[in-house]
Structure 1
Amino acid sequence: MMSKKTLAVTALALLLSQQSFASETEGFYFGGGYYGQYLNLGKLKAKIGDKDATDDNRVFINDRNTERTEPQPISEYKADYSPPFAANIAFGYTGELGNNSYRAELEGIYSSIKVNNIGLANTQMNIKYEKENNKYGVTINHGKIDNISVMANVYHHWKNDSFSFSPYVGIGVGATRMTMFEESSIRPAGQLKAGFDYHINEDVNMHIGYRGFGVIGSSEYKPETLKLNAKTKKMNKQIGENKVTAAIQNSFFHTHGIEAGLTFHFASKA
């Protein structure tokens, strides 16, 4: 994973550079980069049947091996998201816009985000709840979140004749194939970017900046619900037609972090 120290050194080198800034490279380009995500936390919520769980349902989360940890209310559960791998490739066009410039691109992103379930020992969890004086439980695996995304982005660059870098802002919309709780779904997504673009030569640029990425809507997982047998004290499969079901959802999924990358231009105008 790209360290914070490496990113800080790179940013400082760009900001301290005093070379004059050449004209923005124009034409088609391709590029790639890597980004780290930091201080991202996620939460879960439960639905019993088709209604949101309430305090009366007493929804608790614990490890499947309950001897190692204490149960916690689902409202207090937190997950720390950190990517062991997150990278992107892009193809686009850079053009002039008055005294400044713009970029428009199609970007492909892949990220595999590790989920650290705070307060729990592993990724396989039991979620237990109550309804009408009966006790129920489900088991879920929440160890990682994979995203394969295609985004359409536009950027605005401000030229700077005194330095060899230019600030930029960007926005993107698209779709992502999100795998969470070991189930996949295709969802709309959006992102915001801001940073500095460094003009290495007429064909190569380097950028470093902020990326905020979000998926619209919540992921929902409906595992098999077991019912506690009051006599044997064991969880058994439900029988009959009036089965109680539960759905586990994540709140709005979003991450923020620092990205760095290079763009290589096919043609240029100095």
Structure 2
Amino acid sequence: MHYKKFFSAAALVTLLSLSNSAFSSDPIGPISDEETSYYVRLQYNGEVLPFKTRIDGIEYKKGTEVHDPLKASFMAGGAAFGYKMDDIRVDVEGLYSQLNKNDVGGATFAPTTVANSVAVFSGLVNVYYDIAIEDMPITPYVGVGVGAAYISNPSEASAVKDQKGFGFAYQAKAGVSYDVTPEIKLYAGARYFGSYGASFNKETVSATKEINVLYSAVGAEAGVAFNF
């Protein structure tokens, strides 16, 4: 009789143990290995050259030769806050970019009241695709972005030199990132940035804008990203 009670109790304890193990284990089903995180990145953008940059309303010529009115300044930079979901990243970027007045020997501006530089403050929403390489700390990436740009007037005429204009902004980029740690990445690549639609007065303030700016530049970018 005592043996029956002992074996009954042992069986009950065993069943309870198995039941507890079943409920405490992970549920059966697919387990997602999707990588998600927020990140902040800081970067320097070096404008290598203007690319089809045009200022309608201002001419820059040497005899009959037409030259670009602007040249690279190597003054550009930005910061962004974003979200990474597996191989896709989306971020909001604030960017500063600048092109300087060109200085080709013998060439002249018409009119002569031309600002020393054209500066652009822009905000863009970017989407990136990271091309993952298994067991490698290096990740190639491509990205595109659209947004708005706030541009300074190319004319330095006293009545209009402080005018600013809004334009549509866009960019495309490609590069490579390197995992220093799981939380820190270094990256470098090539970048195209452009903006159009900003208009300004040339000499005096009026409702008719005589200057239209197509801002377009090719450059390089390098920076650091912090995941958290």
TM-score by length of 2: 0.71
Q: Name the aligned partner's letter for residue 210 of structure 2.
A: A
Q: 1:31 is matched with which residue: 41, 63, 73?
A: 41
Aligned match of 1:92: 82
Report the alpha carbon displacement of residue 119 of structure 1 after superposing the two structures with TM.
Answer: 3.3
Q: Which residue of 1 aligns with 2:113?
A: 140
Q: Which of residues 47, 50, 70 is equivalent to 1:40?
A: 50
User: Would you say the 8 A contact 1:221–1:249 is kept in 2?
Assistant: no
Specify the alignment match of 2:219 in structure 1: 257
For structure 1, list consecutive stretches of 5 or more residues without a partner in the other structure: 1-22, 48-59, 63-70, 128-137, 225-244
| Cα deviation digits, residues 81-122 of structure 1 (max 9, x gap) | 2124211000011111xxxx111101001123222242357x
Larger displacement relative to structure 2 (24-33 or 201-210): 24-33
Q: Distance in 1 between matches of 2:187 and 2:225?
A: 8
- Change in Cα spacing, 1:262 to 1:72, as seen in structure 2 (3 Å) is same
List structure 1 segments (4+ residues) > 4 angstroms apart after TM superposition: none
Distance (Å, rounded) in 2 between the aligned partners of 1:26 and 1:212:
28
| Residue in structure 2 matching 1:202, options 182, 202, 214 | 182
Q: Bigger radius of gyration, 1 or 2?
A: 2
Q: Report the counterpart of residue 234 of structure 1 in structure 2.
A: none
**Percentage of pairs with the same residue:** 28
Equivalent position of 1:191 in the other structure: 171
Would you say 1:176 and 2:149 are equivalent positions? yes
Letter in 2 for 1:26: T
Q: Structure 1 counterpart of 2:80, which letter?
A: A
Q: Which runs of 5+ in 2 are unaligned?
A: 1-32, 155-160
In the alignment of these two chains, the number of paired residues is 186
Over 3 Å counting, the alpha-carbon distance change for 1:114 and 1:24 in structure 2 is farther
* Distance (Å, rounded) in 2 between the aligned partners of 1:197 and 1:25: 16
- Does the Cα contact within 8 Å between 2:93 and 2:124 map onto a contact in 1? yes
User: In 2, are the aligned partners of 1:108 and 1:151 still within 8 Å (CA)?
Assistant: yes
Structure with the larger RCO, 1 or 2 (CA within 8 Å, 6+ apart): 1
Shift of 1:80: 4.0
Q: Is contact 2:199-2:210 (8 Å) kept? A: no
Q: 1:77 to 1:153 in 2, by over 3 A?
A: same
**What is the aligned partner in structure 2 of residue 233 from structure 1?**
none
**Aligned AA (1:148):** F
For the pair 1:247 / 2:210, whether they are aligned, the reply is yes
- Residues 78, 118 of structure 1: 8 Å contact kept: no
Question: Per-residue displacement from partner, 1:159-209 (whole Å, max 9, x unpaired)?
Answer: 101532111110101001011323310111000011111111110011111
- Deviations 1:121-145, CA, capped at 9 Å, x for gaps: 7xxx652xxxxxxxxxx44223101
d(CA) in 2 for partners of 1:165, 1:253: 33
- Match among 105, 119, 135 for residue 91 of structure 2: 105
TM-score with structure 1 length normalisation?
A: 0.60
Q: How far does residue 147 in structure 1 lie from its aligned partner after superposition?
A: 0.8
1:126 and 1:87 map into 2 onto residues whose CA distance is: 29
TM-aligned CA deviation for residue 77 of structure 1 = 3.0
Pick one of 96, 104, 108 that aligns with 1:118: 104
Counterparts of 1:31 and 1:201, CA distance in 2: 15
> After superposition, what is the alpha-carbon deviation per residue over 1:4-38, rounded to whole angstroms, capped at 9, x for unaligned?
xxxxxxxxxxxxxxxxxxx9963111110001111
> Following the alignment from structure 2 to structure 1, what is the Cα–Cα distance between the partners of residues 92 and 125?
5
Q: Which residue does 1:14 correspond to in 2? A: none
RMSD between aligned alpha carbons?
A: 2.9
SS in 2 for 1:216: strand
Indicate which of 208, 211, 217 corresponds to 2:191: 211
Q: 1:31 to 1:79 in 2, by over 3 A?
A: same
